[in-house]
């Protein structure tokens, strides 16, 4: 079976680039599983994890949002921010989560509610991914998906 | 003629200057390498995004509603994002980009407002009496895209609010270590036609082409500004490295000349003393 040429790029760097078998991504209209020979697609992403499977091994990468393009077995994610599991800063994510929750609870008048909610969602996804990685040390990340 | 002590002091002072410029050269050299790497690392994203944008633009039908960032309007007011370095000691770099922006401003028949990025350009423009709409200094040597977002925000908001009708970017483009070129080009409205569309494929869009485009365009602007800032930093570091290397060479040359003079004066003094002694001895005999 042909492989997918998969790449996650941010404005700052190429985060991940490899030939893979499957890509699972958090599309704006729901979770997407992409196999080779997928039709051309352009979708927005929501904050979540992109999981790639290669020879039975899985790798999870956090993305904060962006775009995903499928084109002739090339899958490209244009991410706003992307982090590999081992790069996630747990302390910072906890802090961001706490701040966002506090903001949502107190609701100061000048606060942008949507932004706080988005921040909370990003922090929680980061923590979830990092958490799962911790429980299975040595594995490539999400195995139970 | 200078006394021996004066020359010696002078040599020491030039030596310490040479040490400083040598150190600055090395620091700039290593920062330059990293700045160049970052500029290159940012390229794949820019290329991919340009492609996606071109593909999207190619799908447009006549009569579709045009996104605000793509609309050409009659120009009543222009904004220039003027990107310079925070620091000097980098040759004519800042002066060049300042001059480029000023000559552009003078050519325009409509008022021009500035968004100044970098302290040197900001200071110059304020002294020059140019209106500065916003300023961003102390971005540092390694700005992340997050540091750039406020700049893009100001530009996009002013543009969509109709305060400005065109936006230009002015910065030093990194050509080679020896050459940096001040460039100035139009950022808004975006002209997707400048990027070539790939073979015509029918995409599935989620949620819809218009919504994807609306999300994509502001990011395109952010990315372009980020890229310009990276180019400017790479230029700054390489210009500084070259300037400091010249300064070090000049200092070393000066030290050589001074050392020669010092030795000559010293020799003359010894000769004079010897003459005095032999003269004295001859008088006694």
User: At CB < 8 Å, which residues of chain A contact B?
Assistant: 7, 9-14, 27-29, 39-44, 67, 69, 71, 76, 78, 80
Whole-number Å distance between alpha carbons of B174 and A4: 35
User: How many CA atoms lie less than 13 Å away from A75 in the CB half-sphere?
Assistant: 28
pLDDT at site B193: 57
Kindly indicate the confidence band of residue A115, based on its pLDDT and cuts at 50, 70 and 90.
Answer: confident
Rounded to a whole number, what is the distance in Å from the CA of B4 to chain A's nearest CA? Answer: 57
Range A4-85 classified under CATH 2.60.15.10: yes
pTM over 0.90: no
Stretch A79-100: mean pLDDT? 84
The residues of B that are catalytic are 90
d(CA A39, CA B155): 37
Task: Give start and end residues of each alpha helix (H) in chain B.
Answer: 4-41, 43-59, 93-107, 119-128, 145-160, 209-284
Interface check for B224 against chain A (CB to CB < 8 A): the answer is no
Residues in A touching B216 (Cβ below 8 Å): 67
Judged by CB atoms closer than 8 Å, whether chains meet at B52 and A11 is answered as: no
**Residue B117 contacts residue B83 (beta carbons within 8 Å):** yes
CA distance B236 to B168: 20
pLDDT for residue A144 is more than 50: no
Res. A136 pLDDT band, cuts 50 70 90: low
Q: List pLDDT tens digits, range B106-134.
A: 999 999 999 999 999 999 999 988 889 99
ipTM, two decimals, is 0.73
Average pLDDT, chain A: 84
Interacting residues of B157 by C-beta distance below 8 A, sequence separation 6+: none
- State the burial class of residue B89 (Cβ atoms within 10 Å of its Cβ: 0-12, 13-18, 19+): middle
pLDDT of residue A98: 86
Residues of chain A with Cβ-Cβ distance to B45 below 8 Å are 9-12, 78
The Cα angle at residue A85 between residues A80 and A90, in degrees rounded to 5 = 90
Is A29–B207 a contact, with Cβ atoms under 8 angstroms apart? yes
The confidence score (pLDDT) of residue B25 equals: 95
Flag whether pLDDT at A82 surpasses 90: no
Question: Residues of B with CB below 8 A from A38's CB?
Answer: none
Span of A53-57, A105-109, B215-219 with lowest mean pLDDT: A105-109
Domain A87-135 indexed as CATH 1.20.120: no
The predicted structure's pLDDT at residue B61: 61
Interface contacts A/B by beta carbons within 8 Å: 71
Q: Which of A11, A17, A67, A82 to mutate to test the interface with B (most CBs of B within 10 A)?
A: A11
Sequence spans of domains, chain A = 4-85, 87-135
Residue B220 contacts A, CB cutoff 8 Å: no
Residue B62: per-residue pLDDT: 55
Interface contact flag, B204 A41, Cβ < 8 Å: yes
Kindly give the parts of chain B with pLDDT less than 50: none
What does the pLDDT look like over A5-30, one tens digit per residue?
999 999 888 999 999 999 999 999 99
Burial class (CB in 10 A: 0-12, 13-18, 19+), B120: buried
In this chain, the answer to whether the domains covering A4-85 and A87-135 adopt an identical fold is no
Written as six digits, the tokens of B14 are 């030039």
Longest dimension (CA), chain A: 56
Q: What pLDDT score was predicted for residue B278?
A: 92
The per-type count for chain A, helices as H runs and strands as E runs, is: 2, 10
């Amino acid at each position: 079976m042909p492989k997918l040429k998969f790449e996650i790029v941010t404005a700052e760097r190429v985060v991940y680039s490899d030939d893979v078998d499957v890509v699972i991504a958090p599309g704006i209209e729901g979770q997407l599983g992409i196999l080779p020979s997928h039709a051309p697609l352009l979708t927005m992403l929501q904050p979540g994890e992109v999981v790639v499977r290669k020879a039975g091994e899985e790798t999870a990468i956090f993305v904060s949002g962006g775009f995903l393009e499928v084109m002739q077995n090339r899958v490209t994610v244009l991410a706003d921010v992307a982090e590999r599991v081992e790069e996630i800063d747990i302390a910072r994510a906890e802090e961001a989560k706490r701040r966002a929750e506090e903001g949502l609870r107190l609701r100061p008048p000048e606060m942008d509610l949507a932004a706080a909610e988005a921040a909370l969602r990003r922090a929680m996804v980061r923590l979830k991914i990092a958490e799962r990685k911790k429980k299975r040390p040595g594995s490539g990340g999400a195995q139970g998906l | 003629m200078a006394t021996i002590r004066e020359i010696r002091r002078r040599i020491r002072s030039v030596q310490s200057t040479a040490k400083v410029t040598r150190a600055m050269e090395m620091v700039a050299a290593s920062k330059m390498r990293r700045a160049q790497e970052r500029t290159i690392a940012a390229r794949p994203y820019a290329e991919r995004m340009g492609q996606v944008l071109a593909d999207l633009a190619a799908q447009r039908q006549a009569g579709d509603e045009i996104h605000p960032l793509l609309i050409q309007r009659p120009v009543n007011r222009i904004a220039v994002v003027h990107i310079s370095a925070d620091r000097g000691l980098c040759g004519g770099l800042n002066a060049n980009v300042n001059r480029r922006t000023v000559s552009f401003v003078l050519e325009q028949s409509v008022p021009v407002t500035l968004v100044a990025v970098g302290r040197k350009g900001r200071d110059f423009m304020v002294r020059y009496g140019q209106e500065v709409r916003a300023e961003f200094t102390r971005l540092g040597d390694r700005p992340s895209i997050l540091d750039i977002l406020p700049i893009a925000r100001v530009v996009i908001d002013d543009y969509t609010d109709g305060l400005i009708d065109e936006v230009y970017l002015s910065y030093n483009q990194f050509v080679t270590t020896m050459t940096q070129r001040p460039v100035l080009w139009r950022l808004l409205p975006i002209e997707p036609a400048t990027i070539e569309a790939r073979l015509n494929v029918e995409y599935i869009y989620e949620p819809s082409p218009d919504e994807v485009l609306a999300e994509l365009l502001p990011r395109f602007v952010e990315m372009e500004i980020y890229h310009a800032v990276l180019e400017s930093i790479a230029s700054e570091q390489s210009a500084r490295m070259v300037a400091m290397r010249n300064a070090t060479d000049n200092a070393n040359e000066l030290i050589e000349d001074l050392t020669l003079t010092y030795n000559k004066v010293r020799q003359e003094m010894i000769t004079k003393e010897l003459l005095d002694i032999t003269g004295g001895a001859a008088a006694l005999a």
